Amino acid sequence: DVKVTQSSRYLVKRTGEKVFLECVQDMDHENMFWYRQDPGLGLRLIYFSYDVKMKEKGDIPEGYSVSREKKERFSLILESASTNQTSMYLCASSRAGPAGLWQYFGPGTRLTVT
Partner 1 sequence: DAKTTQPTSMDCAEGRAANLPCNHSTISGNEYVYWYRQIHSQGPQYIIHGLKNNETNEMASLIITEDRKSSTLILPHATLRDTAVYYCIVRPSPNDYKLSFGAGTTVTVRA
Residues 6 or more apart whose CB falls under 8 angstroms from that of 93 comprise 4, 23, 25, 27, 29, 31, 32, 33, 74, 103, 104
Least distance to partner 1, CB of residue 17, Å: 24
Least distance to partner 1, CB of residue 14, Å: 24
State yes or no: residue 69 binds partner 1 (CB under 8 A). Answer: no
State yes or no: residue 23 binds partner 1 (CB under 8 A). Answer: no
For residue 17, the 8-state DSSP code is -
State yes or no: residue 59 binds partner 1 (CB under 8 A). Answer: yes
CB 67 within 8 A of CB 77: yes
State yes or no: residue 8 binds partner 1 (CB under 8 A). Answer: no
Least distance to partner 1, CB of residue 79, Å: 23
